[in-house]
Amino acid sequence: MNVYDTNRMIDALVPHGYENISDIENADLILLNTCHIREKASEKLFSELGRMKELKERRKSNDKETLIGVAGCVAQAQGEEIMKRAPVVNLVFGPQSYHRLPEMVKKANDERVIDTQFPKEDKFDFLPKAKKSSTIKRGLTAFLTVQEGCDKFCTFCVVPYTRGVEQSRPVAAIIAEAKNLVAGGVREITLLGQNVNAYHGENEHGVATSLAKLLHRLAQIEGLERLRYTTSHPNDMGDDLIAAHGDLAQLMPYLHLPVQSGSDKILKSMNRSHTSKKYLNLIEKIKKARPDIAISGDFIVGFPGESDKDFEETINLIKQVGYSSAYSFKYSPRPGTPGALMQDQVPEPVRVERLARLQILLNEQQDEFNKNMVGQIMPVLIDKRGRVSGQIGGRSPYLQAVHFDGSPDLIGSIRDIKIIAGDRHSLKGELVRENGVEVV
Ligand code: 5AD
Ligand code: SF4
């Protein structure tokens, strides 16, 4: 979502004469967009601000002024502290204030600005749409936020405090944004939300619309070949959404469905309000609707009170599901969350060891998933040149990176590729040819 938000910040500033550049030494305005989900992410900000201080001084010695801004969830949670600890910062603003950016930047030339209120208005009503040239530059795949915030209050998580309550954008606004992206060459859209499958935005008649219905609407947009969505909560996986995985050709066979832990005791204490059995049943149901679906997940090890037995239950659950990929983390106590105050914090060395064991298993599963692709023919959305000259690459329906020999002229198309090798991080393939001629 921060990638999406960053693009929207750029879109907000472009009409005011700003241009997004890659050489930071020439930037008059530098915005650091931050994440507060785990401790490391906010530590990174303060070390980055040290670098910004040097850069600002260097530019100053050449008579150039530099404005430094901090955006995102660290700004939201620790705005005052950032202002105090880092005098180099000119403006601080939370995730719900991006639409006020031009005004804030103007003001920041004269005084330090902090805006971490949750405004009454909806930022999406004010953010300008992306210019066609910007969309083209950003490539063939795009993110689109449809839902933001969360009311679930998992006891480890800061999101409900930093992003605010759950809100869904109206269907019409999403369709318009998707059409704008497609007009700029986008062929694959990933719908975003902290709890995306809880989406319930109003349609044109004021009726609450499910994510499944929204996907059906989006699938009607000509030129929009692929749809994905992330991140989902098991409790919001409605029957119509499961069915959509079988019914909608555009909906890719990949689902990120975090479970966090395989122990019912820990799930309860995490306030996940589902059991491991319920999750496993759900996966079974989804696989019935779309047998080849790739399942991905998130895991936290070392949540307070997690015993060896609880951890083994997570290992068992992973073995039962068989993940194509996954993200796993050591529990990181976040200020203001109930988890941080719980007794029985798990000692760091235990967390480290459990994470290592978990990741060995998840890596094995990823290796196996990729190796099983060898011999299959699959449509690949070709979106870039490969690292090796003469090669081009793209993404499989299962979100794997695929590379193969081919002409850069094919970039932008979806072609059938036969997979000839696979390792943990990518697949190697070849263009499907008939009698030595490419199949068009
Ligand atoms: N500690 C470790 N991991 C966390 N996540 C969220 N909060 C924490 C935390 N305090 C992980 C969860 C979530 C993903 C986005 O980040 O697994 O699904
Ligand atoms: Fe955080 Fe996701 Fe739980 Fe919401 S559902 S509190 S975003 S982990």
What ligand 2 atom has the least distance to the C-alpha of 260?
Answer: 8
| Per-residue confidence (pLDDT) for residue 440, from 0 to 100 | 47
* Nearest ligand, CA 272: 2
Q: Cis before residue 231, ω within 30 degrees of 0?
A: yes
| Per-residue confidence (pLDDT) for residue 297, from 0 to 100 | 98
CATH classification for the domain delimited by 2-115, as one of 3.30.930.10, 3.40.50.12160, 3.40.720.10, 3.40.50.11540 = 3.40.50.12160
Distance between Cα 67 and ligand 2 center (Å): 33
| Per-residue confidence (pLDDT) for residue 126, from 0 to 100 | 85
Counting residues of the chain whose pLDDT is more than 70, the rounded percentage is: 98
| Per-residue confidence (pLDDT) for residue 40, from 0 to 100 | 81
What ligand 1 atom has the least distance to the C-alpha of 337?
Answer: 10
- Output phi, psi for 420, to 5 deg: -115, -15
**362-393 pLDDT tens trace:** 999 999 999 999 999 999 999 999 888 999 99
Band (pLDDT 50/70/90 cuts) for residue 39 is confident
Q: Is the pLDDT of residue 63 over 60?
A: yes
| Per-residue confidence (pLDDT) for residue 41, from 0 to 100 | 76
Residue nearest atom 16 of ligand 1, based on CA coordinates: 37
Report how far apart the first and last C-alpha atoms of the chain are (Å, whole number). 35
What ligand 2 atom has the least distance to the C-alpha of 298?
Answer: 8
Distance between Cα 192 and ligand 1 center (Å): 17
| Per-residue confidence (pLDDT) for residue 437, from 0 to 100 | 54
Cβ distance 65 to 359 under 8 Å? no
Cβ distance 90 to 83 under 8 Å? no
| Whether residue 37 has its Cβ less than 6 Å from ligand 1 | yes
Distance between Cα 42 and ligand 1 center (Å): 14
CATH entry 3.40.50.2300 includes domain 377-437: no
| Whether residue 230 has its Cβ less than 6 Å from ligand 1 | no
Residue nearest atom 7 of ligand 1, based on CA coordinates: 157
List the structure tokens of 131: 């210019």
List the structure tokens of 352: 């480290």
Q: Is the pLDDT of residue 309 over 60?
A: yes
Distance between Cα 154 and ligand 2 center (Å): 5
- Output phi, psi for 158, to 5 deg: -90, -10
| Per-residue confidence (pLDDT) for residue 434, from 0 to 100 | 63
Query: How far is Cα 301 from Cα 306, in angstroms, rounded to an integer?
Result: 8
Q: Is the pLDDT of residue 14 over 80?
A: yes
Cβ distance 101 to 115 under 8 Å? no
Quickly tell me which residue has 């109930």 as its tokens. Answer: 338
- Output phi, psi for 412, to 5 deg: 110, -15
| Per-residue confidence (pLDDT) for residue 438, from 0 to 100 | 57
H or E element at residue 187 = none
Q: Give me the sign of the Cα torsion angle 15, 19, 20, 24.
A: negative
- Residue spans of the domains in the chain: they are 2-115, 123-371, 377-437
Helices (H), 260-337: 264-269, 276-289, 308-321
* Nearest ligand, CA 258: 1
| Whether residue 159 has its Cβ less than 6 Å from ligand 1 | no
**213-272 pLDDT tens trace:** 999 999 999 999 999 999 999 999 999 999 999 999 999 999 999 999 999 999 999 999
Residue nearest atom 1 of ligand 2, based on CA coordinates: 157
| Closest CA relative to residue 300, chosen from 320, 273, 326 | 326
Residues having CB closer than 6 A to ligand 2 are 150, 152-154, 157, 159-160, 194-195, 233
Cβ distance 27 to 20 under 8 Å? no
Cβ distance 401 to 363 under 8 Å? no
What ligand 1 atom has the least distance to the C-alpha of 260?
Answer: 17
Query: How far is Cα 409 from Cα 233, in angstroms, rounded to an integer?
Result: 40
- For residue 186, the number of C-alpha atoms closer than 13 Å in the C-beta half-sphere is 26
**117-135 pLDDT tens trace:** 888 888 888 888 999 999 9
Burial class (CB in 10 A: 0-12, 13-18, 19+), 18: middle
What ligand 2 atom has the least distance to the C-alpha of 158?
Answer: 1
**157-209 pLDDT tens trace:** 999 999 999 999 999 999 999 999 999 999 999 999 999 999 999 999 999 99
List the structure tokens of 6: 């960053």
CATH entry 3.80.30.20 includes domain 123-371: yes
Quickly tell me which residue has 């993110």 as its tokens. Answer: 143
| Per-residue confidence (pLDDT) for residue 436, from 0 to 100 | 57
| Whether residue 107 has its Cβ less than 6 Å from ligand 1 | no
* Nearest ligand, CA 351: 1
What number is the average pLDDT over the span 8-26?
94
Order of all β-strands in the sheet with 226-230: 141-145, 188-192, 226-230
